[in-house]
Structure 1
């Protein structure tokens, strides 16, 4: 049995520092990226594995990210 691993890089933030406009996370961009990733995974009968994306340097809140992932 041959198994493959694919990597998906996404852009879900603008900039790298929290400033007057808030954290660099862009929840809408994260959602769009995950929707595209879901379609690709579904077509390839693949599973998706990831850490708590968007909650580190991007400054996102898990309580906002988790529902996007669940959706």
Structure 2
């Protein structure tokens, strides 16, 4: 079983060799505009366009909580949109994160990463605007990805 590697840096620009998947959590409401996706969109327009098209066709394309879409953005770089957040805003004390949906999407991501022979790179998914707790997400990442031999790097943004 692999361990999760934690580094300081920018998850939108992994610098390791080989095929890479940049994974992040999206909402099920079609909104793209806060958190990690802003940094992602500054580097590449394709993920936002693909997510919006996926959402528009949601009646027939599997879009919904727990779903996964991968978008190729470079020869050896993919972006994985994981639907793990219900809505875009907190409702009272309820946070948008859906741990069961993140778990389901991570299982799909593991299959995709293994098919591609890719490493996975991510921020602390589900823990920004989605309102999740890393202490609940980390075991999902470990169990679904690292336990299957997928190399995972989690990026904490910052200097150094």
| Structure 1 and Structure 2 fold alike (TM over 0.5) | yes
Compare CA radii of gyration and give the structure with the larger one: 2
The aligned runs of 1:24-35 (5 Å cut-off) are: 24-35=96-107
Q: Which has more helix, going by share of residues?
A: 1
- Name structure 1 gaps, 5 residues minimum: none
Distance (whole Å) between structure 2 residues aligned to residue 43 and residue 15 of structure 1: 31
Equivalent pairs, count? 70
> What residue number does 1:17 align with?
89
> What residue number does 2:79 align with?
7
| TM-score, normalised relative to structure 1 | 0.89
| TM-score, normalised relative to structure 2 | 0.41
> Cα RMSD (Å) of the superposition?
1.6
| Higher RCO (C-alpha under 8 Å, 6+ residues apart) | 2
- Name structure 2 gaps, 5 residues minimum: 1-17, 19-74, 144-160
Which residue, out of 52, 58, 67, partners 2:124?
52
